[in-house]
Structure formats: C-alpha cells, structure tokens
C-alpha cells in the first residue's frame, strides 16, 4: 500500500515493512518490523533429497504453494516464477560467491537504506527478517546441502517500488550458500504482461510476421533464391517478441493506504518499540 512517497508492505493486515522514498529519488529508507512469516511449509529433507537440486521441480512446488496460500503476494494478473533472476548476471565471475552474494544483501536491522545507485539499477536483496548467522542450527543443516548441490532455491519477489528483491522464503538457505561460497539457486517471482495486453500484442506480432513473410516471398519471386526465406528471416523476431510477452517485467502494483498518510504514521508508531522512527 502507498500514500505519497510512503509505502507499507503488509502480510494480510500485519505490517512487515515501512518505506520512505527520498524526494530526490536516490533511494529508500526502510524499517522492517520482523513480523514477516513465510507462507511456504517447512522443506523436508526427504523432499530435498528426492528433488536432487532440480530448480524446475522446486519451481512447480513453490508455484503450487503460492497459488494456494492466502498469505502470499499473488493477486489478480499474470505472474512469472523464473530461475533466471537478473541479479545472477552482475558478478561475471569476478568475485567469490560468498563475497558477491553478501554484497547483494541490503544492510539494516531493523532499519536501513536502499541505494538505487549502488548497482546502477539496484537488483539487491532485502531480507524480510534478519539473516541468521553461519553457525545457526538451520544454516548448519543447509550448509551440507549447499556442498552437495541439493540446496532448495531461495524464493524472491521483485518489487519495483523498492527497486529490489524481497526474500519470501529461504533466509537460512541464502545464509548457507554464502557460508559455503556457493551460488544459491534462485526463483524470482514478478508481475508480467496482463492477459488482454498480451493477447492483443501477440496478434500484432503474428500479423507483422505474416507481412514480412509475404514481403520476402515477393522478393524471392523477383530476385530468385538469393533472397532469404521469409520465415527464417522473420521467425527469430517473432520468437523474441512472444517470449517478451510471456516473461517481461511489469511494475508492482500498490494500492492507496486507507486513512492515507496519517494512518501510515499511526502504523509506524504501533509497530516500533519507541513509538517513532527517524524517517517517519
């Protein structure tokens, strides 16, 4: 929910994150309430062994949980759950995994700052609760799976209003991957093109493809087989456009906060130990 430059992220009616976007649009101050509860049931060791590190199999499992859970982030619209999170591409092999993924975590317990210029477009990761230490019992259990290559993926939600990823499930798993300096498997949840827009754009893309095929057919009739085949020339363009319509990012929705700015302030006071927050 949003009022002016102030945001409130809630799980049902329970606030889990307050945020204030800077007037200069350089970043966001945030306050975490540490009241977030993962909606994903505990991942059993037997299931983990059976999945053998298959991100595709975990994607199906998480998709089922997301669709069934009233505490998850899904609302009307089209969504993508993808293992191809763009933040995986920033390292280019320059840094050890432990150093890189630790650098992608946004500091702040319980409050901090999201710098929108630290990685150009900030594809960082904001935990919704504190990342456990490497010697935490859950992390220790996951570290063996990280070494074995069977560690379940970390479930992330891309939020455009914060310009970062939130950890929906897998705080301890990410800590284990960092402790073992292995690249964590990721599943990124994000909004994509609405169905009606995708249908219209698909028709337009197919129509443009057919025009190109007809144009190349005419050219081949005049100039002979030295002219490329129309389907071969126009096909890749169509394929790319259809893939974009299936997977491209769309802004995260936000709804007006009932009660407006005054309710945002009241919520901050209710959910902070001191009744105040310096950025409120």
Same domain, 177 and 218: no
Same domain, 108 and 134: yes
* pLDDT in the model for residue 84: 77
Same domain, 8 and 86: yes
Q: Is residue 236 situated within a structural domain?
A: yes
Residue 232 clears pLDDT 80, i.e. is over it: yes
Q: What angle do CA 34, 165, 20 make, to 5 degrees?
A: 65
Within 10 angstroms of residue 121's Cβ, the number of other Cβ atoms is: 12
Q: Is residue 49 situated within a structural domain?
A: yes
Q: Which domain holds residue 132?
A: 2-192+249-270
Q: Is residue 279 situated within a structural domain?
A: no
Same domain, 173 and 228: no
The structural domain count of the chain equals 2
Q: Is residue 13 situated within a structural domain?
A: yes
Alpha-carbon gap, residue 191 to 160, rounded angstroms: 10
Q: Is residue 212 situated within a structural domain?
A: yes
Q: Is residue 280 situated within a structural domain?
A: no
Q: Which residues contact 271 (CB under 8 A, 6 or more apart)?
A: 15, 18, 33, 35
Q: In sequence order, what are the beta bridge partners of 3?
A: 6
Using DSSP bridges, classify how beta strands 14-21 and 27-32 pair: parallel, antiparallel or unpaired: antiparallel
Same domain, 16 and 132: yes
Same domain, 84 and 217: no
Residue 273 clears pLDDT 80, i.e. is over it: no
Q: What angle do CA 28, 30, 36 make, to 5 degrees?
A: 135
| Confidence label for 275 from pLDDT (cuts 50, 70 and 90) | low
> pLDDT, tens digit, for every residue of 136-149?
999 999 999 999 99
Same domain, 144 and 221: no
**Which residue from 180, 158, 173 is spatially nearest to 55, judged by alpha carbons?**
173
């Amino acid at each position: 929910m949003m009022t002016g430059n102030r945001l409130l992220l809630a799980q049902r009616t329970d606030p889990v994150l307050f945020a204030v976007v800077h007037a200069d649009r350089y970043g966001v101050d945030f306050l975490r309430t540490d009241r977030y509860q993962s909606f994903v049931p505990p991942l059993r060791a037997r299931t983990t062994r059976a999945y053998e590190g298959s991100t595709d199999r975990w994607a199906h499992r998480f998709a089922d949980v997301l669709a069934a859970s009233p505490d998850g982030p899904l609302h009307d619209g089209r969504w993508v759950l993808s293992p191809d999170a763009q933040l995986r591409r920033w390292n280019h092999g320059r840094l050890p995994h432990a150093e890189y993924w630790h650098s992608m975590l946004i500091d702040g317990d319980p409050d901090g700052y999201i710098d929108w210029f630290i990685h150009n477009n900030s594809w960082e990761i904001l935990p919704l609760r504190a990342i456990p230490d490497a010697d935490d019992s859950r992390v220790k259990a996951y570290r063996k799976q990280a070494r074995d290559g069977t560690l379940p993926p970390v479930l992330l939600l891309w939020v455009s209003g914060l310009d970062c990823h939130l950890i929906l499930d897998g705080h301890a798993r990410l800590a284990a991957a960092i402790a073992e300096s292995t690249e964590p498997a990721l599943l990124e949840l994000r909004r994509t093109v609405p169905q009606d827009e995708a249908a219209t754009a698909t028709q337009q893309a197919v129509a443009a493809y057919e025009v190109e095929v007809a144009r190349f057919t005419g050219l081949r009739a005049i100039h002979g087989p030295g002219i490329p085949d129309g389907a071969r020339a126009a096909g890749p363009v169509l394929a790319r456009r259809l893939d974009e319509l299936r997977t491209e990012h769309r802004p995260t929705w936000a709804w007006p906060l009932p009660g407006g700015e005054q309710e945002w302030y009241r919520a901050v006071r209710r959910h902070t130990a001191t009744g105040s927050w310096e950025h409120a």
